Structures are given as C-alpha cells and as structure tokens.
Amino acid sequence: MSDPTGRNVLSIEGLQSKPMIKAFIPSNLPLEERTVGQILARQADRFADKNFIETTSGDCISYRDIHMRSNQFAQGTAAFGIEYQEPVLVMLPDTIDYVTVWCGLAKRGAIEVPINLAYRKSILERLCNDSTAKKIIIDHEYVGRLEEIADDLEHLDCVILYAEDGDPDPPGILPPRLAQTCRVAQFEDLFSDTSTDFEPAPQYSDLVGIMYTSGTTGASKGVSTTHSHSFCYADGAAEIFYLSEEDRFYTAGLPLFHLAGQWAVCYASMIYGATVVLRKGYRNDNFWSDIAEHNCTVVFLLGAIANFLWQQPQLPEDNKTPLKKVGMFPVMTEHEEFCERFGVEISTGYGSTESPCPVIHHFDEPLPNNQCVGFPTGRYDVKILDKNDQACATGVVGEICTRPRAPWEIMLGYWRQPEYTAQVFRNLWYHTGDAGYQDDQGRLYFVDRLTDSMRRRGENISSMEVEDEVNQHPDVLECAVFPVWVGHSEQEVMVVITPQPGVTLEPEELIRFLDQRMAYFMIPRYIEFTDAIPKTPTGKMEKYKLRTKGITPKTWDRVAAGIKLSR
C-alpha cells in the first residue's frame, strides 16, 4: 500500500494479527513547511501541555513550553550576535536544555555543529577548525579540552559556558590560554530577553546543521544538512517505528549530539506528537526499569544493547512490559526469538546521515536473515552498481547507491569539500561506500563497508583518524586499523602494528597512551604486532588481507586483559 507521496505504508488489514501496532499515517507535509520552527509551532498549538520531553531524573517540558523557551533562546542568540546561517559548535550533555538549543538555533537560522562528548585533542581541533565556527556552547566540564588545543584553534573567539542546575560552583571564567583569544558568556545570558515571541526566518533549503561523520575515505567529514533533509531523516525514522502521538520513545543511550538521538528520536517524536523519555548517562542495567517506570512503547536499539538484553537470564515477566516496537540496527541473528521472548515487533532499515532512510523493513514484512534491511521506499531509487557504475545482477554484491525522487531529501554535500561531494554524487547517484545486493523481490541486503570506515556501537569511526593517533606513539613505525566482527552484529576496532626497529611495545602501554588522546569508543580492542604490513607494489596497505585474517592466537584483547578506559 502506498500513500500519495509514493511511500510504502502498512495497511490496517496487514496488522490485524498484530493489534499492538497501529497503522502508520505519514505526515505528508509540503516542502515549504519542513522547518523545525514551523513544525514545533504547529505541535505546540496542537498538543500544548502534553510533555514533549521527560527525563528519567524527573524533569519534563511540554510542547508549548519548549516552543516558548526555544523562541526566547532564538531571540537571545540574535541579540548576542549569532548571525543567520552562522555555524555554532555545541558540546552539551543530554538535557532538556540541549533540545532547547537545537530548536532555538534552528529557529534563528543558525547552523548547529554538534560535538561528540568523547572528542578531544586532534580530532576535536580538526572539527572546530573545519567548521569555521566562531562560537561554541559548551558544558563547563569540557572547557579543559578546549584549553588543551587553544593555541591551534583558528576561528573560535567566543565561548558560551553552560552549567546544569545544581552544578556546584561552575566556573564563570575561561582557563588562561583560551581567555587570551576568546570572550566568555554564560548560557543563561541568552535568555535575558523575556519575550517568547519569535518569527523563524529559515527556509526548507537553508542549512540546519553540519553533522560530522566518518566518510567513505579519510578523516571525518561535515555533512551539510538542510531543514528539509533533517525532516526527511526524522520522517523516515518515524515510518520505521510507526510513530504516533500515543507513543513514548526511549532514547536508550542515543546521545543528542548524534543524529539517531536528535533526529530519529526527538525530531521524529515532535513531528508525530509523541513523548521522548531522555536518560542522561545511559547504562544497560537501567533499560527495563526505565521502560517500566516511564511506560515506554518504542525504542531504537543498537546491536550491542540488543545483544546485552538477549544475553540476560530469561525471566517469566520478559514479555510483560509496555515496550511494543523495536527498531534494531543491525538486526541480530536471533531476531525471531527476541520478538517472542520480549513480546515486541522488530523493524529496521538502511540509511546514512547523507541519505536518510531510503530502505525500510516494516513490522509486517518477513525478514529472511539479519543482513536484510528491507525494501526501498517510494521516496528513493536504490541500485547496486559495480565499479563502473553499471547495474549488478540480482544477488551480485556491489556498491549500494541511492537517488531521491524529490528535491531536498538528502544532503547538500560535504562541508567545504566540493571535490569529494562531486565524487560521491557521480553519474547522478549517491554512492554510499557500502556493499550490498538485492534479491529477486527487491529486498536490500547490507554486506559490509567498502572502505576504511567502521561502526562500533552506533559510532562511525574513521580508521585513518585512529591510525593517526596510534602513529603518534614514538615506538610505532606504522599501523593498519580495520574492523573485525565480534558476535553476530557488532564490530570492534583492531590494529596491526609494526614497531620501530629494535623496540618492544607493550599493548598496555599503547592503550594508556591512546586513552589520554582519543574518544574511548575509537580505542582499539584488539592489537597484533607484525614485522611487516602487507602492501601492493605501489606501497598501499592491503587491508583486505588483514581483515580476512582477522583475530589470531597472536592477537591481544584489551577486554580479556581487563583494561578499563576513561570516559
């Protein structure tokens, strides 16, 4: 069944055997109305005092109040000097205030540049400089990381300090090196204008964010996203989950700096009038208590969390929870048993920051195996192409390529990288860098990443960035970083190292070195030493040989060694 836009929509008849899930009703918003400001204004009028966000610590904010407070914030940013279409860095924890910042910047017409809270040193420096942002809204706990790179920041000249209510004596000044080049302001100063009236200026085609994600080659790239693009991402996610205003969506560890948390959960919930249940500092052992206490009906599950839940001792009450709908990414091998045990239905899909939700597996469709991600939606054409951009035959693995059927559905391009943008959009297709195939019914199967990026517990990781940090150790001659599969659905980071001649490097020493320099999720779990990394005659590393070899008896395992990382 299709809606007027051509999207596949689950029919009520198809759900008669599953009364727990109602049919999905698409939003069908016209292009001109696809801005955060317009959508939030309409939902504030429609849902008023209904809670939009509830935190597991007991805070909440209604649709009307988040609309008014983000209006006030937008007023404050304009008065403060944040310009229309100016990039603004955001490094904040998962709080209602972050949602206010996201909505307020969007209404102002500024460009949010979210920063992963684990970033530090060279990766943080690279993101700050590449974004060209002059201002950052940052929790005071992370200012020390800016101080570490203060001498290398090329554009930053203003730091807006944030502190949660109840923080003991948050500093109101900057550390010395940062203070030499940046002025300081307090987050609450942006709310000094008590007016809650604000007329958002952005159009659907204006940028709303620069989202840094691991590209198909090289360092992390900024994805230039418009208001319409972000809407399509959220609307596609809503179709995966069959969201409605009756739902309560649990974030389950998806941070707001990540598109899955900000757009797939929060924005999708806003579009469909659902309530978001937000936990700061997620832990797996909070999962079922949060679901029960907050009556959560839907969740976005990363493979690692799904595996954790599955591996817990089975209890008689496992299927007696409010949870009914699970989006699982990737789907575990035991997905049918998971549904039976926990009394839920599973959906999934395929997409990326650049090309959101071109493929969706609906709740009522059979899932042949855990590589299957569903059928192309009516919004996209999807093809499997070979290295010459010729269509592959059914069942033959090639590169997954997508193309929207309407304008403003996908990214504008990569921030300040026109050459790479042209490369991935060659021959009128967006080239994902992923390998896959389609069966004779048209279902898509995701096989692997084609390139040197990998995905660990929901985080995209560039192998080049990890290699850059490992190579900073004085005892490392060269290294190769690549993903290895552990279990059914999770990747871990492995590094093969050639030490400097005559040097013995201990794995524990390398981990301690990296723990002070890198985001915890990027630090390799597996380390192996070798006399020489295999290379082509022209000197390029043959990583495919290392991936094929994988973990060996010589491989050192950080987890087995019991080493804990800083966070």
pLDDT digit string (tens) for 294-323?
A: 999 999 998 878 988 998 999 999 999 999
Please tell me the distance from the alpha carbon of residue 321 to that of residue 317, in angstroms, as a whole number.
8
Amino acid 346: pLDDT: 97
Average pLDDT in the chain: 91
Contacts of 212 (CB under 8 A, 6+ apart): 113, 116, 127, 220, 221, 222, 223
Please tell me the distance from the alpha carbon of residue 226 to that of residue 209, in angstroms, as a whole number.
7
Amino acid 302: pLDDT: 86
Task: Please say if the pLDDT value at position 26 is more than 60.
Answer: yes
Task: Please say if the pLDDT value at position 538 is more than 60.
Answer: no
Amino acid 14: pLDDT: 36
Alpha helix (H) residue ranges in 312-426: 335-342, 418-424
Domain boundary among 184, 202, 220: 202
Task: Please say if the pLDDT value at position 36 is more than 90.
Answer: yes
Amino acid 9: pLDDT: 39
Alpha helix (H) residue ranges in 371-495: 418-424, 463-470
Residue 523 belongs to some domain of the structure: yes
Task: Please say if the pLDDT value at position 8 is more than 50.
Answer: no
Domain boundary among 159, 182, 202: 202
What digits encode the pLDDT tens for the residues 122-151? 999 999 999 999 999 999 999 999 999 999
Strands (E), 308-443: 325-329, 345-350, 359-361, 372-376, 380-385, 398-404, 413-414, 430-438
Residue 520 belongs to some domain of the structure: yes
At 130, the amino acid letter reads: D
Task: Please say if the pLDDT value at position 215 is more than 80.
Answer: no
Q: Which of 14-18, 431-435, 522-526 has the lowest mean pLDDT?
A: 14-18
Instruction: State the maximum Cα–Cα separation within the chain, in Å, rounded to a whole number.
Output: 71
Domain that residue 508 falls in = 455-557
Q: Which of 14-18, 67-71, 88-92 has the lowest mean pLDDT?
A: 14-18
Residue 195 belongs to some domain of the structure: yes
Task: Check if the beta carbon of residue 561 is closer than 8 Å to that of residue 507.
Answer: yes
The pLDDT confidence band at residue 216, using thresholds 50, 70 and 90, is: very low
Residue 270 belongs to some domain of the structure: no
What digits encode the pLDDT tens for the residues 157-189? 999 999 998 776 667 789 999 999 999 999 999
Query: Region 328-348: what's the mean pLDDT?
Result: 94
> In this prediction, what percent of the chain has a pLDDT beyond 70?
93
Amino acid 536: pLDDT: 61
How many structural domains comprise the chain?
A: 2
Task: Please say if the pLDDT value at position 1 is more than 50.
Answer: no
Picking from 237, 258, 255, 260, the residue whose alpha carbon sits closest to that of residue 247 is: 237
Amino acid 257: pLDDT: 95
Please tell me the distance from the alpha carbon of residue 130 to that of residue 132, in angstroms, as a whole number.
5
Beta strands 413-414 and 325-329 are: unpaired
Task: Check if the beta carbon of residue 144 is closer than 8 Å to that of residue 167.
Answer: no
Task: Check if the beta carbon of residue 435 is closer than 8 Å to that of residue 449.
Answer: yes
Picking from 6, 52, 458, the residue whose alpha carbon sits closest to that of residue 268 is: 52
Tell me the two tokens of residue 343. Answer: 């009394």
Task: Please say if the pLDDT value at position 543 is more than 90.
Answer: no
Residue 10 belongs to some domain of the structure: no
What digits encode the pLDDT tens for the residues 40-85? 999 999 999 999 999 999 999 999 999 999 999 999 999 999 999 9
Please tell me the distance from the alpha carbon of residue 489 to that of residue 474, in angstroms, as a whole number.
35
Domain boundary among 147, 171, 202: 202
Amino acid 193: pLDDT: 80
CATH code assigned at 500:
3.30.300.30
Please tell me the distance from the alpha carbon of residue 216 to that of residue 221, in angstroms, as a whole number.
9
What digits encode the pLDDT tens for the residues 432-468? 999 899 999 999 999 877 866 677 877 878 787 899 8
Amino acid 460: pLDDT: 75
> In this prediction, what percent of the chain has a pLDDT beyond 90?
77
Amino acid 308: pLDDT: 87
Residue 154 belongs to some domain of the structure: yes
Amino acid 159: pLDDT: 98
Query: Region 317-335: what's the mean pLDDT?
Result: 94
Query: Region 505-517: what's the mean pLDDT?
Result: 96
Residue 68 belongs to some domain of the structure: yes
Amino acid 168: pLDDT: 66
At 316, the amino acid letter reads: P
Residue 22 belongs to some domain of the structure: no
Amino acid 150: pLDDT: 98
Please tell me the distance from the alpha carbon of residue 305 to that of residue 301, in angstroms, as a whole number.
6
**Cα-Cα end-to-end distance for the chain:** 47
Task: Please say if the pLDDT value at position 217 is more than 70.
Answer: no
Is the CA virtual torsion 509, 492, 146, 152 positive or negative? positive
Task: Please say if the pLDDT value at position 7 is more than 60.
Answer: no
The pLDDT confidence band at residue 22, using thresholds 50, 70 and 90, is: confident
What digits encode the pLDDT tens for the residues 461-494? 878 789 989 998 999 999 999 999 887 668 899 9
